[in-house]
Homo-oligomer: A and B are copies of this chain.
Amino acid sequence: MFTSLRTEEAERDGGYGATAKRMGELVQEIPGFLGEDSAQTPGGLSVTVAYFRDLAGIEQWRDHAAHREAKERGRAHWYERYSLHIAKVEHSSGFERSNAAD
């Protein structure tokens, strides 16, 4: 779970959006990456939940060279603050309108 508040610089800086898009592509190559949900409130607050099969995938993504470089640029320019939580899913449920079984 990655929650972040972006700087005004990130809002203006074309580099942020291009890097975020590239990271969204690269993470899909990590073995065990299952997908992600992300929402952005205008003004800079983002909440992203990325799902991995196991910790090995998370560690591979954490150590990925291009991702490390992006994180450094993020801390230098694009993020006012962020928090990251690694968590183990214990229970899941869901709902779809077309198939209203919960």
Interface of A is mostly: strand
Question: Nearest residue in B to A83 (C-beta to C-beta)?
Answer: B94
> What chain B residues lie within 8 Å of A94 (beta carbons)?
81-84
Q: Known A42-B42, A88-B87; judge A7-B81 contact (CB<8 A).
A: no
Question: So how many copies of this chain end up in the complex?
Answer: 2
* A50-96 contacts to B (CB < 8 Å): 75, 79-96
A68 CB, nearest partner CB in chain B, Å: 12
- The CA of A38 and the CA of B87, in the complex, are separated in Å by 17
Q: Known A7-B97, A96-B81; judge A39-B49 contact (CB<8 A).
A: no
> What chain B residues lie within 8 Å of A83 (beta carbons)?
37, 92-95
> What is A's interface to B at a CB cutoff of 8 Å?
1, 3, 7, 37-42, 45-49, 75, 79-97, 100, 102
